[in-house]
Chain A
Amino acid sequence: MSNETVLQVKELKKYFPIRKGIFKRTVGWIRAVDDVSFSVSQGQTLGLVGESGCGKTTTGRCILRLYEPTAGSILYRLDDQLENIVEFNHAEMKRVRQKLQIIFQDPFSSLDPRMTVHDIIAEPLRINRIGTRAQQSDRVEELLDLVGLNAAQMNRYPHEFSGGQRQRIGIARALALNPEVIVCDEPVSALDVSVQAQVLNLLMDLQERLNLAYLFIAHDLSVVEYISERVIVMYLGKIVEIADATDLYESPRHPYTEALLGAIPIPDPLAKRTRKPLTGTVPSAANPPSGCNFRTRCAYAQDVCAHEEPPLMHIAGDRSVACHFADELELTGFSRGGASRLPVHSALPDLTGASSTEGSPG
């Protein structure tokens, strides 16, 4: 896996106007994304987690310019050099969009109900006038095969498929143009547990085969840990922490990361842990608190937090944190509460031994 940067986001901002009255005057701004910078390397998965309203989806859509960024630059690697695509016109964007694709959360609203699976997957090829009709059909077959669907089904309509299959169709469409980077916007959160695992494994297999880079947006921290090498935590439009996944989960440096990790329900009835639950709720992005965004819910907040906004600072290793006390706080990482791993991940025992007592808790 090469470490070459394919996508770099610099000081990205997206403010949505709040309009009121019959003449829709702008009375304020929702700072959905406020000064966000990060980069994605080829073949790498960068996880982006946060609670609803933290700006993770907006960030993903700005990168594809589905929303126009308010400020900042989005650099994409074209012919071995990074170019700022924010200034690209429609024709230039078309070239970028072949390399930069997206997978959506909702497997129902992401496929046009009137189109056959073939037409849905061939749409990007048709729009970009790639290949003859016959070549497009061959490509569709190839893609269906790649995502584990039967090519014989390509003349059916989306409503005849289950949620997991529809998500595979969405993935095939995203792959049609041979992209390098795919923004995965909560791709498994609408799926059932068993199907979710299938899609996660498929995404990982595809990444290995096609050397894809993913920006994997999700609210489920366990899913993000499973698929990502690096993880960004966002809160109220800002990045609070970026780190390698293992570091972040084992030793968080931001109080919000700690709180998130502490809130994950552990699928283990014997896990014992002391929780420090967050109080309160996320403030409005239209009217964020002064100083540090998180201070209103932070257990470690001090006076300085209300006055000064902590910058995202590079600290030891390859990680950055936006907290005044990143170096002083002793934060606890995710722990399974002492319990050993569940036996289900081990080889299946002899199921037929009805009286077996394997895996009994100690």
Chain B
Amino acid sequence: MSEAARTPAKLAAGKQQGLSQWDLMYIKFRRHRLAMFSGVFLILVYIVILFAEFFSPYPTNEKFGKFVHTPPMPILFWDGSTLSRPFVYGYKQELDIETFQRTYVADTTQKYYLKFFTQGSEYSLLGLVTTDIHFFGVDEPGLIFLFGTDRFGQDVFSRVLTGAQVTLTAGMLSVAISVVLGAVLGTLSGYYGGVVDLIVQRVIEFLSSIPRIPLWMTLAAVMPTDWSSVRIYFGIITILAFLGWMGMAREVRGKVLILRSMDYVMAAKAGGASSAYNIFKHMLPNALSHIIVVATLAVPVMIIVETSLSFLGFGIQPPMTSLGALLREAQNVQSVVNFPWLFSPAIVIIVTTLAFNFLGDGLRDAADPYSQ
């Protein structure tokens, strides 16, 4: 047939040849500038928080008693007369006669140059290597507080990094667990239908009907107080995942219901394929793009929930810290007015949640590469 004979030439002339579905999705995703940018941004954020100890100049709990509530130090390149490599000024304390409050003003006589890969306090990187190299710092006796300090004189920047490490990984891990739970239950429910479907759906409806915040608080409060903070961390992740899989399961079930009646699944069945073959070869791979989208959009929700729990005091306990726990410091009006830098954890939350949502939007458009 000449249709066949002509086609290779025709396809060779076309732009899309031999492109798999993933290739098409990537092409479509790349056109989504904001999502692309958010994706890159989030990768960078996660690299930084994974190596939080390396990127933070000071240990989380190191207190600089003489520097309580110092404002953020700007990194400068201009010392009033010449352009120089980046530096910060030291602070000197002054007492405000009228309010009797200590204020800090930049001391232009103390100029500390920013140094990279400096030696500082010892820590163990990811629990594997013990080292004392930090990404940046200033020479003694200078100090650098990029986001200022809190009421104990702890460096807010370092604390935000470790807090973000806890919050953002907790969000990610709890979504990962709920994806597994949701995908398994959703697939079973959608593929086998009948009694399995009935039970799974009713359980989901029951769990979804319980008011969320009180349930989370109860579950978090049930955790023994003598648990180590690491155990509490994993406890929180489990709680988040336990209550987060329902949406995922519904999503997967819906997708499986559609895929189950697709003719290519029927064709495989007609060729002698087993249920397992169909589930793993046809359904899950085709549902995967949708699972990824839903998971991406679930991460920011988990981040917010963890933050809320910790903010209310039911989540992460000291000495561990999280973004929510850090925000507790900024609970009162006084700090809002006088020490606005204590809100830097909130900015991190807002920026990462937005980035996740943009990324999810872009992925959602890309997940259906054949639509225009």
Describe A's contact surface by its main secondary structure: loop
Chain A positions within 8 Å of B202 at CB level:
22
Residue numbers of B with Cβ under 8 A of A are: 1, 3-5, 7-8, 11, 14, 16-21, 24, 198, 202, 262-264, 266-274, 277, 282, 285-286, 370
Chain A positions within 8 Å of B1 at CB level:
148, 198
Query: Is A153 touching B270 in the complex (CB atoms < 8 A)?
Result: no
Out of B4, B20, B268, name the residue touching A150 (CB < 8 Å).
Answer: B4
Out of B198, B264, B270, B370, name the residue touching A66 (CB < 8 Å).
Answer: B270
Please, could you name 12 A-B residue pairs with CB atoms under 8 Å apart, sorted by A?
A97-B271, A109-B264, A110-B267, A112-B282, A113-B370, A114-B285, A116-B20, A123-B267, A150-B5, A153-B7, A156-B17, A164-B3
Query: Is B271 touching A127 in the complex (CB atoms < 8 A)?
Result: yes
Chain B positions within 8 Å of A307 at CB level:
none
Residue numbers of A with Cβ under 8 A of B are: 22-24, 61, 64, 66, 90, 93-94, 97-98, 100-102, 104-106, 109-114, 116, 120, 123-124, 127-128, 148-150, 152-153, 155-157, 159-161, 164-165, 170, 173-174, 176-177, 198
Out of B21, B266, B267, B274, name the residue touching A113 (CB < 8 Å).
Answer: B21
- In the complex, A97 Cα to B24 Cα: how many Å? 34
Query: Is A104 touching B263 in the complex (CB atoms < 8 A)?
Result: yes
Chain A positions within 8 Å of B17 at CB level:
156, 160
- In the complex, A97 Cα to B272 Cα: how many Å? 6
Query: Is B3 touching A165 in the complex (CB atoms < 8 A)?
Result: yes
Query: Is B268 touching A149 in the complex (CB atoms < 8 A)?
Result: no
- In the complex, A111 Cα to B267 Cα: how many Å? 9
Out of A98, A110, A152, name the residue touching B264 (CB < 8 Å).
Answer: A110
Query: 8 tightest CB-CB pairs across the interface, nearest first?
Result: A124-B271, A110-B263, A104-B263, A94-B272, A148-B1, A112-B264, A97-B272, A109-B263
Q: Find the B residue at minimum CB distance from A176.
A: B271
Query: Is A109 touching B272 in the complex (CB atoms < 8 A)?
Result: no
- In the complex, A23 Cα to B202 Cα: how many Å? 9
Out of B24, B270, B272, B273, name the residue touching A159 (CB < 8 Å).
Answer: B24
Query: Is A93 touching B264 in the complex (CB atoms < 8 A)?
Result: no
Query: Is A157 touching B271 in the complex (CB atoms < 8 A)?
Result: no
Chain B positions within 8 Å of A113 at CB level:
21, 286, 370
Out of A127, A156, A177, name the residue touching B18 (CB < 8 Å).
Answer: A156
Name the distance in Å between A115's Cβ and chain B's nearest Cβ.
8
In this complex, which of B16, B202, B268, B286 has the most chain A Cβ atoms within 10 angstroms of its Cβ? B268
Instruction: Answer whether A66 and B11 are a contact pair too, CB < 8 Å, given A94-B272, A123-B271.
Output: no
Chain B positions within 8 Å of A66 at CB level:
266, 269-270
In this complex, which of B14, B264, B274, B277 has the most chain A Cβ atoms within 10 angstroms of its Cβ? B264
Query: Is B268 touching A127 in the complex (CB atoms < 8 A)?
Result: yes
Name the distance in Å between B280's Cβ and chain A's nearest Cβ.
13
- In the complex, A97 Cα to B267 Cα: how many Å? 11
Query: Is B4 touching A149 in the complex (CB atoms < 8 A)?
Result: yes
Name the distance in Å between A268's Cβ and chain B's nearest Cβ.
29
Query: Is A102 touching B266 in the complex (CB atoms < 8 A)?
Result: yes
Query: Is B263 touching A106 in the complex (CB atoms < 8 A)?
Result: yes
Out of A114, A153, A170, name the residue touching B286 (CB < 8 Å).
Answer: A114
Query: Is A104 touching B3 in the complex (CB atoms < 8 A)?
Result: no
Chain B positions within 8 Å of A165 at CB level:
3-4, 7
Query: Is A157 touching B272 in the complex (CB atoms < 8 A)?
Result: no
- In the complex, A170 Cα to B267 Cα: how many Å? 9
Chain A positions within 8 Å of B270 at CB level:
64, 66, 97, 100-102
Instruction: Answer whether A104 and B4 are a contact pair too, CB < 8 Å, given A157-B18, A159-B24.
Output: no
Chain B positions within 8 Å of A97 at CB level:
270-272
Q: Find the A residue at minimum CB distance from B22.
A: A114
Chain B positions within 8 Å of A93 at CB level:
272
Out of B3, B20, B277, name the residue touching A157 (CB < 8 Å).
Answer: B20
Q: Find the A residue at minimum CB distance from B274.
A: A90
| New A-B pairs, 18, CB < 8 Å, besides A149-B4, A157-B19 | A104-B267, A109-B263, A109-B264, A110-B267, A112-B286, A114-B285, A116-B20, A123-B268, A124-B272, A127-B272, A128-B271, A150-B4, A150-B7, A153-B8, A156-B18, A160-B18, A164-B3, A198-B1
Chain A positions within 8 Å of B18 at CB level:
155-157, 160
Query: Is A198 touching B285 in the complex (CB atoms < 8 A)?
Result: no
In this complex, which of A66, A124, A150 has the most chain B Cβ atoms within 10 angstroms of its Cβ? A150
Chain B positions within 8 Å of A114 at CB level:
20-21, 285-286
Query: Is A24 touching B198 in the complex (CB atoms < 8 A)?
Result: yes
- In the complex, A119 Cα to B272 Cα: how many Å? 16
Name the distance in Å between B161's Cβ and chain A's nearest Cβ.
40
Q: Find the A residue at minimum CB distance from B2.
A: A148
Name the distance in Å between A266's Cβ and chain B's nearest Cβ.
29
Chain B positions within 8 Å of A111 at CB level:
264
Query: Is B262 touching A109 in the complex (CB atoms < 8 A)?
Result: yes
